Structure 1
């Protein structure tokens, strides 16, 4: 496709900055960048591929910020991240044959359930709790499963990782957020590799948006580390509900088509 005009690139840079800020705290950055790219006239497949490129900068930036403050050890988390890469690559490779309508139907209700869990569970804080699953089993099962989902579909990946770390691994909210970003970085790499091989990545646009993502994630992660659970929890709830509403408001959503509205 032809090069985008300067004002369109500025618009996409600003959208990526906001997405990086929100995603570094609560996930859901894709609900900003994907519509922004579609509005800019980028075709859907190129939008998905370019979104994976620019989101690498946001998740990678946030991972570095959290690691520098000691909230996550990136070296120790490498095996899990590698499994997330594998899951993301397999998911992206099978995106054309996985029943996407099933995911589209279930996802809004799963996101609302996550919002209700974090919104009404009174004892969720930055303090760690008793874990329900060993790190080995968590990494072997839950991580590649969510990575696969990220490759196939994507929206809400950070929220699902957060839910797993809090409910299964027993992490506090801030620690869960820090670990989520590196795994999300891994699943983004897996999906990006596949999309790049298919030649559907707009490099110039993705790199410009990547700069916005990087800066936004640095600002957002510092904001999260300063405020902890008292800002992460409500933003996570709002993000999940907003993403669910956005998905259900799509005229092409299977439920709306079934109901004829």
Structure 2
């Protein structure tokens, strides 16, 4: 693998970390770049390699947000643990059964999410408590199990689904939802990383330079999101959902 290839992939990884730190969805940039640039490698190896930079980027985003945004500490820890286990289970399940049915299902959900967010102008703009502490606990832990499994089994759009869940089910605004989503996503990425490491499906010479690039992008993306606030994140969220819809639709129709 020559240096120009590493540099190109690190550039995509930087952009993925930047976008992912703001609203999630960095995998929509990083994973296709890997698949198109290195078609000679097995797909599981390429997917596994992307997990290390994704994990580092998620951790950096989580760190930046946690310094400036209050976190629901008593519930987020168990949610991360549940998401970790669910993500590992999802990765294992992927090795047993096909996941081809997930793309049309995810596409349908994303279209509904896009229309709802676009038409409801105040969605995620102001934090408001809509549930009791017990309901918050139940919903966060259930969300950790469901989206954690999804991330291990399929993956694309995980960050966006987490943000959506924290806004719609818990009552957070975009900024607070992004902060909590990064923590949970870091946990699911760690589980996937450990799974692929145990399977020996990592290109370490590429994974670590990409991790540095992703981490740098995540640092800048999180700082920008915190500086600009909810309106900026909402625009990013809509743009990312639209891009995800186009990508899934293209894959299904071609």
Which of the five TM-score ranges fits, normalised by the shorter chain? over 0.9
Q: Does 1:10 align with 2:7?
A: yes
Q: Which residue matches 2:216? A: 215
Query: What's the RMSD between the two structures over aligned residues?
Result: 1.6
Contact 1:92 1:191 in 2 (8 A): yes
Aligned twin of 2:141: 140
**Paired residue for 1:121?**
120
Deviation at 1:201, TM superposition (A): 1.1
**Residue 160 of structure 1, CA deviation:** 0.7
Does the Cα contact within 8 Å between 1:83 and 1:139 map onto a contact in 2?
no
Q: Which moved more, 1:158-167 or 1:112-121?
A: 112-121
3-state SS in 2 of match to 1:168: helix
TM-score by length of 1: 0.91
CA distance in 1, matches of 2:217, 2:190: 19
- 2:47 paired residue number: 48
Summarize deviations over 1:100-147 as a string: whole Å, max 9, x none: 121012112212222222222122244212334622202331111100
Q: Which residue of 1 aligns with 2:207?
A: 206
Structure 1: gaps of 5 or more residues: none
TM-score by length of 2: 0.93
Tell me the residue number matched to 2:197: 196
Write out per-residue CA displacement over residues 29-57 of structure 1, whole angstroms, 9 at most, x where no aligned residue. 01111111112214311111111111001
Whether 1:90 aligns to 2:79 is: no
**Match status 1:239 vs 2:236:** no
Structure 2 matches for 1:8-47, cutoff 5 A? Answer: 8-41=5-38, 42-47=41-46
Matches within 5 A, 1:58-69: 58-69=57-68
Deviation per CA, 1:130-170, whole angstroms, max 9, x where unpaired? 33462220233111110000000100001111111001111
Measure, in 2, the Cα distance between the counterparts of 1:61 and 1:74: 18
Instruction: State the 1:65 CA deviation.
Output: 0.4
> Is the CA contact (8 Å cut-off) linking 1:21 and 1:219 kept in structure 2?
yes
1:74/1:182 contact within 8 Å kept: no
Aligned match of 2:152 = 151
In 2, the alpha carbon distance for the partners of 1:94 and 1:24 equals 28
- Could you say which residue in structure 1 is the equivalent of 2:79? 80
Change (3 A) 1:73 1:140: closer
Contact 1:26-1:232 at 8 Å conserved across structures: yes
The CA deviation at 1:80 is 1.2
CA deviation string 1:223-261 (max 9, x = no partner): 1011111111111111111112112212xx3xx3xxxx5
Tell me the distance in 1 between the aligned counterparts of 2:145 and 2:97. 16
CA contact (8 A) 2:61 2:219 kept: yes
**Could you tell me how far apart the structure 2 residues matched to 1:23 and 1:74 are?**
22
